Copies of this chain bind each other. A is one copy, B any other.
Amino acid sequence: MLIRPAEAADWESIWPFFREIVMIGETYCYPDQITSESARSSWMTEAPGITVVAELEGRIVGSARIGPNRDGRGAHVATAAFMVDPRSQGEGVGRALAEFTLDWARTTGYRAMQFNAVVATNIGAVSLWKSLGFEILATVPEAFDHAADGLVGLHIMYRSLLDRPILRSESSMRRVPRG
Contact = CB atoms under 8 A, between A and B. Distances in A.
Contact of A28 (B72, B77, B140, B147): B72
Contact of A117 (B25, B74, B154, B158): B74
Number of copies: 2
Interface in A30-64: 30-32, 34
A142 interface: yes
Contacts of A29: 70-75
A134 to B, nearest CB: 12
Contacts of A158: 140-141
A80 to B, nearest CB: 15
13 contacts: A25-B73, A29-B70, A29-B71, A29-B75, A30-B72, A73-B144, A77-B140, A112-B140, A112-B141, A114-B140, A137-B137, A137-B139, A138-B156
